[in-house]
Structure 1
Amino acid sequence: MNILFVSDDVYARHLVVAIKSIINHNEKGISFYIFDLGIKDENKRNINDIVSSYGSEVNFIAVNEKEFESFPVQISYISLATYARLKAAEYLPDNLNKIIYLDVDVLVFNSLEMLWNVDVNNFLTAACYDSFIENEKSEHKKSISMSDKEYYFNAGVMLFNLDEWRKMDVFSRALDLLAMYPNQMIYQDQDILNILFRNKVCYLDCRFNFMPNQLERIKQYHKGKLSNLHSLEKTTMPVVISHYCGPEKAWHADCKHFNVYFYQKILAEITRGTDKERVLSIKTYLKALIRRIRYKFKYQVY
């Protein structure tokens, strides 16, 4: 199994937690690839020690952030680093034909084997329907020339078909799109990928990219405020990957998203935190436990 992350040093602390959540729930022998936009040696050693201790390997691939410094950044919580994945086919070894891409702001709660085994031979990528864009930002789709019949996907969890990426020359095509739509790419490379990959996306069960907006829509459905959910919003339980996209991240003290407590739990495993940190974690855990029980029995989300 091959897994790709993109990170700078600012996000390295959160990257470690995401990686630890993966190896806690998956078999040995994972090959991690990290597009490295300036991660400090100390943080790289920490990541390598954790990964190697679980019988897997990590490969840091240096990326020059200056390649993307002229690219638009219109939302403060979306890093410039995300553009680096547009060069996945260029930076990754030629013998890789597919790879799971994950944003740093994810936690994994179950095996990724089902995701890894998705057949993407006839697609450029597998990804999940983005209910936030589809239901709350539909005008944005129009601004980037996507029709109502084309479904916007979230790029935080994807399974790349690298053979098809190489054929398309994704990065060159991305440059053309940025020149064509200089002010419309609000969601950065996610918009670019949605335009380039239209009609070549395998839509996944949303259990593989469970986002805050998806939880809210399920809650609204159970409360009778939504008559139905789109077929592409299907979320089979249990959730495999929770994606804390948006301005509230799992590492924020006031974040109340699904299973967010596990971020602090995993961080404590890694850092062996102080007594004070453990007391704070217990308080957080009790609140999170109540939310988890409510989500499971009231909304069938777990």
Structure 2
Amino acid sequence: MKLLFTLDANMVSPLAACLRSISISNRGANPTIYIAYCSMPDQTLDRLKSFCSELRLTCHFIPFDDTEIKKLRATMRQGHISEASLMRCFIARILPADVGKILYVDCDTLVLGPLAPLFASALGDNVAMALRTPMAHLEDMGVPEDRYFNTGVMLINLDGWRSAQIENRLLDVMRTQADRLEWWDQCALNIVLTDTTVEMDRRYNYIFSHTDVPDSFAFPVIVHYAGSRKPWTAPLRHPWGGLYFEMSSRTPWPPAEFTSPDLSVPLVRRYRRRLLKALGLRDEPTRT
């Protein structure tokens, strides 16, 4: 089982929490983890390598020349997409030639269950498996509303990716259609892979929605903190943030301990209450 993360200096703490979660939830599975990085201070990189050793995870660190990414970002809205996000378009260039299948996972995730069943999924002649998140803004570019997918977790047939020259096609789309790419590389991936991507079970890319109801809930294997609601930047805005808070506290980059001004209790307790309430298991927070 092989996993890929793409990393820049802004996502070290979330990645460390995710790696900690993998070491717990996939104990004994011995995944091979590739971490491609750019713009990383040597001291931070050394500490991350040491942390992976402490977790007894097999991690290969791959430096990536970000010259081409910087040229791409120059045509974008500044700060719109990180360098780490754009790196996933270059996975065939990043990974060894003998890697034929990879599970790409964003750094802003936690892994709560076994990944082996997902990695064993058959792709057939398709290049990728990803979660459908219907959006209509690319229909005139050949992406039907119900086929748009989120790229935060992707199972990828790298042999098929290489033979179809996906990287070259992605770069062409990003260079020629910049004004149409609302979510940049994600939109480009949708345009290029729309006819060769199969649907992923939501448990493997669980993005919380306020429309969730207890009857439709299945415990996620991968929680994805997609969008602007990041537990490390917006305390109390994500009901699953407590899981991140607790996992991150066991890394060299723990979060600050916040206290809720209205209840004067630790943030982690508030997080737990919000999660229970979101799942319909507790109507109101209990004062302590």
Q: TM-score band, normalised by the shorter chain? A: 0.7 to 0.9
Within the candidate set 171, 189, 199, 1:175 is matched to: 171
- For residues 75 and 19 of structure 1, the distance between their equivalents in structure 2, rounded to whole angstroms, comes to 29
Q: C-alpha deviations, 1:46-105, integer Å up to 9, x for none?
A: 222232233321111111222112224347453133121111112201111111111111
Gaps of 5+ in 1: 223-234
- Choose which of 147, 152, 177 in structure 2 pairs with 1:151: 147
Equivalent position SS for 2:61: strand
- Provide closer, same or farther for how the CA distance between residues 175 and 293 of structure 1 changes in structure 2, counting only shifts above 3 A: closer
User: 1:127–1:157: 8 Å Cα contact kept in structure 2?
Assistant: yes
Confirm or deny: 8 A CA contact 1:157 1:208 kept in the other structure: yes
- Which protein is richer in helix relative to its size? 1
Q: Secondary structure at the match of 2:52?
A: helix
Q: Which amino acid aligns with 2:257?
A: E
The change in CA–CA distance for 1:272 and 1:70 in structure 2 (over 3 A counts) is closer
Contact 1:205 1:236 (8 Å CA) reproduced: no
Q: Give the 3 Å change call, closer, same or farther, for CA 112–282 of structure 1 in structure 2.
A: farther
Paired residue type of 1:33 = Y
Amino acid at match of 1:146: V
- Partner of residue 31, structure 1: 32
Residue pair 1:109, 1:240 contacting (<8 A) in 2 also: yes
Amino acid at match of 1:250: P
Residue 67 (structure 1) aligns with? 68
Partner amino acid, structure 2, of 1:171 = E
Q: Distance in 1 between matches of 2:266 and 2:251?
A: 19
Please show how residues 211-250 of structure 1 align to structure 2 within 5 Å.
211-212=207-208, 215-219=209-213, 237-250=218-231
Whether 1:125 aligns to 2:106 is no
**Aligned twin of 1:91:** 94
1:295 maps to 278
Q: What is the aligned partner in structure 1 of residue 285 from structure 2? A: none
Over aligned residue pairs, what C-alpha RMSD do you find? 2.6
Partner residue of 1:165?
Answer: 161
1:6–1:103 Cα contact (<8 Å) kept: yes
Asked whether the equivalents of residues 111 and 240 of structure 1 are also in contact (C-alpha less than 8 Å), the reply is yes
**For 1:172-211, what per-residue CA distance to the aligned partner results, in whole angstroms no more than 9, with x for missing partners?**
1112212431311121111111111112112111111111
TM-score normalised by length of structure 2: 0.86
Q: Verify the 8 A CA contact 1:68 1:80 in the aligned structure 2.
A: yes
- CA distance in 2 between counterparts of 1:97 and 1:118 reads 14
Q: Contact 1:7 / 1:36 at 8 angstroms: preserved in 2? A: yes
Q: Distance in 2 between matches of 1:69 and 1:22?
A: 31
- Provide the secondary structure at the position in 1 that maps to 2:187: helix
Native 8 Å contact 1:121 1:161 kept in 2: no
| CA distance 1:253–1:247, change in 2 (3 Å) | closer
Q: Which amino acid aligns with 2:201?
A: D
Equivalenced residue count is: 276
Equivalent residue number for residue 55 of structure 2: 54
Percent identity, please.
25
Among candidates 231, 250, 265, match of residue 269 of structure 1: 250
1:198 aligns to what?
194
Mapped contact 2:13–2:253 kept (Cα < 8 A): no
Report the alpha carbon displacement of residue 35 of structure 1 after superposing the two structures with TM. Answer: 1.3
Amino acid aligned to 1:216 = H
> Does residue 256 of the first structure (1) align with residue 237 of the second (2)?
yes
- Deviation of the 1:44 alpha carbon: 2.0
Aligned-partner Cα distance in 2 for 1:128–1:298? 27
State the alpha-carbon separation in 1 of the partners of residues 48 and 139 from structure 2.
41
Question: Distance between the aligned counterparts of 1:217 and 1:190, measured in 2?
Answer: 24
Question: Counterpart amino acid of 2:13?
Answer: R
Q: Which blocks of at least 5 consecutive residues in structure 2 are unaligned? A: 283-288
Secondary structure, in 3 states, of the residue corresponding to 2:249?
helix
Match of 2:3 in 1: 3
